[in-house]
Amino acid sequence: MTSTVKTTDRIPVKEALCEESIGKKVKICGWVRTRRDSKAGFSFIELNDGSSFNSIQVVAPKELDNYESEILNAGIGSSLEILGEVVESPGKGQATEVKADSVKVLGFADPKEYPLQKKGTSFEFLRTIGHLRPRTNTFGAVARVRNEICRAIHEFFQSRGFVYVHTPIITGSDCEGAGQMFKVTTFDLDDVPRKEKSNEIDFEQDFFGRQTNLTVSGQLEAEIYATALSNVYTFGPTFRAENSNTSRHLSEFWMIEPEMAFCDLEGDMDVAEAFLKHIFSSVLKNCPDDMNFFNQRIDKTVIETLTAIVESDFHRLSYTEAIEILEKSGESFEFPVKWGIDLQSEHERYLTEKKFKKPVIVYDYPREIKAFYMRLNEDGKTVRAMDVLVPKVGEIIGGSQREERLDVLKERMIDCDLNPEEYWWYLDLRRYGTVPHAGFGLGLERTVQFVTGMANIRDVIPFPRAPKTADF
Ligand code: ATP
Ligand code: MN
């Protein structure tokens, strides 16, 4: 078999799908999604390499040397290398197809054993084959949209002069107040050294000479850099050892935390709103095929919802106003509403889905339910916190203006049973050239969930970590 292909370089299927490729001799590679053999002596192979949602149709004529021996045995899941010409496709729904001059089977997949058959692949089942699920339409689309979101996040901050700061994953601050932590140790768990007198665990003998954990947030460290470089952001993994088996919680998730010096709560809300709009409009613009799929097959409202958000202003209201609205709503909530409660998911969803039908920013929360570092308001009862709530997901961003007054911060720490001495470096930031500053945290997976309409957070991260779940 003689090939007239000049290009030795593989091009992505995405490129072969473009009309501009018509007439070109190309090499493409990928995995078989389906194969159909016609009586007229052709096989039609849908080939996908993950570069785009759509597969390309490869037409393999029976004249090929290995037609009977190999091509007719290359079923779903097999990997192929094709040399051929991109031609206009007579079929509907695709501009191009590839007329194969040669089809090389790189690896067969036994169709009787291959776990990803066309039908019967629920998301629950796919979680048990985390090594193969990225080959499905849904998980390929999730991976590409997640990638686009990350790209847009960096673009947003980089184009505004924010410096990307890497905060540590192993941290020595024991209680940042954001949730339970995973311990990091090299102790032999069968023989943990203890102090002689008190019988307490002797962490001085541990690897770091002190107790260490996996981080729950990079915020405090980001504040260090913000009080030197003005505008910074972190983007990294964070860990929560909470036993929450919900569709919105993971034990390991990625968080983006901008921190801005010389910025108050209004500025913080402005950045949060512009940031979300930038992410959503980037995905709508750059992932049209993937988004059409989510809109057709996962949630028929995602495109409409994202478009509306990009075009409208978020509704901002204080916690106190939110409580009044909830009290007057006439809804029967599972958790009763009264001033001082932490808003539950049902309350958040009422505000954003029913009352305002758009993203909502709630600010000035009671001090008792928020972290020590949030700036105390003049009323002495509330702090300059803000949460951005979106339909279905609820809280997607949590942020605040930070307490920059040394004396007030110390008092708040003591109130919250924290030892100011352990936070000596955090307090130094207020001791030496303190400035008003603010920031927020966006959960990456909640964002991917919201954008794609995927119901379970375990399906928007490649390898989910959750209670009793750490396979793959
Ligand atoms: P929630 O009340 O939903 O548990 P939180 O108040 O614990 O959230 P923060 O500590 O403010 O959340 O974290 C900042 C952001 O990180 C949240 O707005 C959310 O988007 C995300 N997030 C928090 N916990 C998780 C988790 N367990 N899994 C995935 N994302 C999370
Ligand atoms: Mn939480």
Nearest residue (CA) to ligand 1, atom 1: 395
**CA–CA separation, 280 and 453 (whole Å):** 13
Task: Evaluate whether 388 touches 397 at the Cβ level (below 8 Å).
Answer: yes
pLDDT at 267: 98
Among residues 51, 58, 64, 97, the alpha carbon closest in space to that of 80 is found at: 58
| Ligand 1 atom nearest 397 alpha carbon | 18
With a 6 Å cutoff on the Cβ, whether 64 touches ligand 1 is no
pLDDT at 163: 98
Alpha carbon of 416 to ligand 2 centroid (Å) = 18
Task: Evaluate whether 413 touches 423 at the Cβ level (below 8 Å).
Answer: yes
Task: Evaluate whether 245 touches 234 at the Cβ level (below 8 Å).
Answer: no
With a 6 Å cutoff on the Cβ, whether 398 touches ligand 1 is yes
Alpha carbon of 233 to ligand 1 centroid (Å) = 17
Please name the amino acid found at residue 392: K
Backbone dihedral region of 199: left (phi > 0), alpha (psi from -120 to 50 degrees) or beta? left
pTM (two decimals) = 0.94
With a 6 Å cutoff on the Cβ, whether 240 touches ligand 1 is yes
**CA–CA separation, 421 and 412 (whole Å):** 13
The residue to which tokens 């959503």 are assigned: 280
With a 6 Å cutoff on the Cβ, whether 439 touches ligand 1 is no
Bridge partners (DSSP) of residue 84 are 26, 100
Alpha carbon of 237 to ligand 1 centroid (Å) = 12
The single-letter DSSP state of residue 354 is I
| Ligand 1 atom nearest 242 alpha carbon | 27
Nearest residue (CA) to ligand 1, atom 30: 443
**CA–CA separation, 365 and 350 (whole Å):** 18
216, 234, 249: which to mutate for ligand 1, most atoms within 8 A of CB? 249
Ligand nearest to the CA of 244: 1
| Ligand 1 atom nearest 440 alpha carbon | 14
**CA–CA separation, 171 and 213 (whole Å):** 5
Alpha carbon of 260 to ligand 2 centroid (Å) = 23
With a 6 Å cutoff on the Cβ, whether 239 touches ligand 1 is no
Nearest residue (CA) to ligand 1, atom 23: 443
Task: Evaluate whether 40 touches 62 at the Cβ level (below 8 Å).
Answer: no
Q: Please report the domains of the chain, with CATH numbers, ordered by start residue.
A: 13-107 (2.40.50.140), 135-181+216-459 (3.30.930.10)
Alpha carbon of 253 to ligand 2 centroid (Å) = 12
With a 6 Å cutoff on the Cβ, whether 458 touches ligand 1 is no
Alpha carbon of 195 to ligand 2 centroid (Å) = 34
DSSP-based three-state secondary structure for 348:
helix
pLDDT at 1: 44
**CA–CA separation, 79 and 49 (whole Å):** 9
3-state helix, strand, coil in the chain (%, to 5): 30, 25, 40
What separation in angstroms does the CA of 436 have from each of 260, 263, 339, 374?
Answer: 9, 6, 28, 11
Alpha carbon of 397 to ligand 1 centroid (Å) = 8
pLDDT at 244: 86
pLDDT one digit per residue (tens) for the chain, 472 residues: 444 555 468 999 999 999 999 999 999 999 999 999 999 999 999 999 999 999 999 999 999 999 999 999 999 999 999 999 999 998 888 899 999 999 999 999 998 899 998 776 899 999 999 999 999 999 999 999 999 999 999 999 999 999 999 999 999 875 555 568 999 999 999 999 999 999 999 999 999 999 999 999 999 999 999 999 999 999 999 999 998 889 999 999 999 999 999 999 999 999 999 999 999 999 999 999 999 999 999 999 999 999 999 998 999 999 999 999 999 999 999 999 999 999 999 999 999 999 999 999 999 999 999 999 999 999 999 999 999 999 888 899 999 999 999 999 999 999 988 889 989 999 999 999 999 999 999 999 999 999 999 999 999 999 999 999 999 9
With a 6 Å cutoff on the Cβ, whether 255 touches ligand 1 is yes
**Tokens representing residue 439 in the block:** 């920031």
**What is the full DSSP assignment across 276-331?**
HHHHHHHHHHH-HHHHHHHHHHT-TTHHHHHHHHHHSPPEEEEHHHHHHHHHTS--
Contacts 24+ apart (CB under 8 A), 426-431: 426/220, 426/223, 426/373, 429/223, 429/224, 429/227, 430/403, 430/404, 430/405, 430/406, 431/406
**Tokens representing residue 101 in the block:** 């001059």
Task: Evaluate whether 412 touches 210 at the Cβ level (below 8 Å).
Answer: no
The residue to which tokens 């001090």 are assigned: 367
Nearest residue (CA) to ligand 1, atom 22: 443
With a 6 Å cutoff on the Cβ, whether 178 touches ligand 1 is yes
Task: Evaluate whether 269 touches 318 at the Cβ level (below 8 Å).
Answer: no
| Ligand 1 atom nearest 394 alpha carbon | 3
Alpha carbon of 161 to ligand 1 centroid (Å) = 26
Residue 63: how many CB atoms within 10 A of its CB? 9
